[in-house]
Structure 1
Amino acid sequence: MPNLFCMQIQRSLSPTYEKHLQDIFYAKDTFDERQIPQLFQKAAVLHTALHHTSPVFFLVDYTRSQYLVMSGGTKIITTYDPREFMEGGIPMLRSIYQRDDFKVYNESIFPANIDFLSSQPQHLHQEFIFTYNFRIRNKAGRDVQLLQRGCYITSAATGLPLFSLGTATDITLFKKDTLIHHTIERQYDVKGRPVQALMAENHFYPQEEDRLLTTQEHRILSYMAEGWSSKQIAAHVNIAENTVSNHRKNMLRKTNTKNMAELIAYAFRHRLL
């Protein structure tokens, strides 16, 4: 019999990140203790390999808002000593997290992760990799763009995250815009062969003005809603057909829609048409 901690929980799905941290601190969640040594074993191997290099490797305990492991690459990337994160916990990260990016994570990305986990069997949760980018402010006051990839250990009772294990990489040299890209992948083996599958993808704009459609995009969208083809639009507006396609891709990304039907429905719902 595995050694299970007790459980006493009544919580709604899709909480914000901050609400989840508040709830999980006082709740008594159920999880298999045998998973913790496995996590620490993974952490020990990666921590040794990454201690003086980037990317940052971390292991966080949501139930106590504490970091259990933080690799030495933290200082290279963030300019903060890893001990500052170990001592300050999640509030330390929150204090240097770019405000608009944290709002997106708190209100959109984390709830999307919870929604996804709630749709999957709990025993598969560790197979899913959650990736997104965000900005932090270093000691010199400069923004650093990070790409974080990680997985969760979740409660056997609720499926909500109790621990998170992952890496964060500095992508400042390659990332010049503020768009936040969020993906969920599944990584598993089929007959000993690793398989990776994209399960979900979202785009978020921290600044409202970046999310707005341009005048040209509004114009093209209105023609699309009337059933015009890309070729017809290109001829009428006097632009290349590829440019019409690029405008379509931009509008899909800005509205977080997956196809033209969703885009047009979004446009009517938000009075863009």
Structure 2
Amino acid sequence: MSKKNYRGGQFEQTYEGHLQSICRENEKINEQQVRAAVSGFDSLGAGILHTQPLFYAIDYTQASYRLMTSATRELVGEPSEAFLEGGIPKLLDIYHPEDFKVYNEHVFSTNMAFLRSQPVEDHHRFVFSYNFRVRHRSGRYIPIYQRGSYLTSPDTGLPLYSIGMVMNITPFKKDFLMHHTIEKTSTAGCDLLEAHTYYPREEDRLLSVREQQILQYMADGWCSKQIADRLNIAENTIANHRKNMLKKTSTKNVAELVAFACKRGLI
């Protein structure tokens, strides 16, 4: 049975649930469609000098890779054949457990809810991006960034294939937050439609002692300069703390941030 969570008045499908249900479908995407979709991602890799992008095509109906380029060796220290033979189970084996939980329960279900709100004939125009960690053959986890699109069933709108690219973002990623975006492609480029931030580690969501201290001063009506002078730190540091607190709490301004903190007893 497909695994779904009931949230916000509707069922949200997990990634694992989709794999279990779609594998019984007889629908197929034309091979030419797959190759055309993959070639469309070539331009996304242009100008990336620090790493070689990896291109892939996943067949959900078979839980397998139809395409995996040789950059897997540079990315995780294993040949592409390991994934072509091992399929999605091979990917799940190296996926960081904390990050997969977020992808399975939140990222994928958000993507599916979005696709359900759009005409099936437009599905190929949307690009879904997010970052996560995978285990290198050496045992260490490395952060990667994935951009891809779905080829969906014309009848159900459910993904039959996932096509896209992956790259190593170690030089740019120093935290554990997962960022997830949905864009729509056009002749002018990509338009951002949705952006989400997730915290695989619950402790990363909580405010630090310093952040709570600064937030208490904010709640008391102190300005950034006054707080900086009191704590003997730079005013820019206060601004950075404020920005991080807004991101952690998914609030839009200081008023919402203070309300959030008061409601949860943080200050």
TM-score by length of 1: 0.79
Task: State whether residues 204 and 256 of structure 1, in contact with CA within 8 Å, keep that contact through their aligned partners in structure 2.
Answer: no
Change in Cα spacing, 1:173 to 1:154, as seen in structure 2 (3 Å) is same
- Segment of structure 1 superposing worse, 131-140 or 234-243: 234-243
CA shift for structure 1 position 175: 2.1
Show the counterpart of 1:200: 194
Show the counterpart of 2:36: 41
What CA distance in whole angstroms lies between the structure 1 residues aligned with 2:34 and 2:95? 26
Task: State whether residues 14 and 115 of structure 1, in contact with CA within 8 Å, keep that contact through their aligned partners in structure 2.
Answer: yes
Change in Cα spacing, 1:76 to 1:234, as seen in structure 2 (3 Å) is closer
What CA distance in whole angstroms lies between the structure 1 residues aligned with 2:266 and 2:110? 25
Change in Cα spacing, 1:144 to 1:271, as seen in structure 2 (3 Å) is same
What CA distance in whole angstroms lies between the structure 2 residues aligned with 1:158 and 1:259? 40
Aligned-partner residue type, residue 210 of structure 1: D
Q: Does 1:93 align with 2:87?
A: no
Among 113, 116, 124, the alignment partner of 1:115 is: 113
What CA distance in whole angstroms lies between the structure 2 residues aligned with 1:122 and 1:265? 40
Show the counterpart of 1:66: 64
**Count of residues paired in the alignment:** 253
What CA distance in whole angstroms lies between the structure 1 residues aligned with 2:176 and 2:56? 24
Q: SS of 2:32's equivalent?
A: helix
CA shift for structure 1 position 227: 5.8
CA shift for structure 1 position 204: 2.0
Show the counterpart of 1:176: 174
Change in Cα spacing, 1:221 to 1:138, as seen in structure 2 (3 Å) is same
The C-alpha deviation readout for 1:32-63, integer Å capped at 9, x for no partner, is x55x422223437879xx9xx92110000112
What CA distance in whole angstroms lies between the structure 2 residues aligned with 1:240 and 1:173? 26
Task: State whether residues 115 and 123 of structure 2, in contact with CA within 8 Å, keep that contact through their aligned partners in structure 1.
Answer: yes
The C-alpha deviation readout for 1:186-212, integer Å capped at 9, x for no partner, is 2112xxxx2321112222222222221
Aligned-partner residue type, residue 113 of structure 1: N
Aligned-partner residue type, residue 15 of structure 2: Y
Task: State whether residues 13 and 114 of structure 1, in contact with CA within 8 Å, keep that contact through their aligned partners in structure 2.
Answer: no
Q: SS of 1:39's equivalent?
A: helix
Task: State whether residues 54 and 74 of structure 1, in contact with CA within 8 Å, keep that contact through their aligned partners in structure 2.
Answer: no
The C-alpha deviation readout for 1:55-106, integer Å capped at 9, x for no partner, is 1100001122111111111122111111111111111000011111111111
Aligned-partner residue type, residue 243 of structure 2: K
**Which runs of 5 or more structure 2 residues have no equivalent in the other structure?**
5-9, 46-50
Aligned-partner residue type, residue 131 of structure 2: N
**Which runs of 5 or more structure 1 residues have no equivalent in the other structure?**
1-8
Change in Cα spacing, 1:257 to 1:127, as seen in structure 2 (3 Å) is farther
Show the counterpart of 1:3: none
Q: SS of 1:63's equivalent?
A: coil
What CA distance in whole angstroms lies between the structure 2 residues aligned with 1:92 and 1:111? 22
Change in Cα spacing, 1:45 to 1:122, as seen in structure 2 (3 Å) is closer
Change in Cα spacing, 1:245 to 1:100, as seen in structure 2 (3 Å) is same
- Segment of structure 1 superposing worse, 37-46 or 108-117: 37-46
What CA distance in whole angstroms lies between the structure 2 residues aligned with 1:90 and 1:21? 9
Task: State whether residues 180 and 204 of structure 1, in contact with CA within 8 Å, keep that contact through their aligned partners in structure 2.
Answer: yes
Q: Does 1:77 align with 2:72?
A: no
Show the counterpart of 2:48: none
The C-alpha deviation readout for 1:247-269, integer Å capped at 9, x for no partner, is 22101222233444554454355
Show the counterpart of 1:242: 236
Task: State whether residues 219 and 258 of structure 2, in contact with CA within 8 Å, keep that contact through their aligned partners in structure 1.
Answer: yes
TM-score by length of 2: 0.81
- Segment of structure 1 superposing worse, 241-250 or 164-173: 241-250
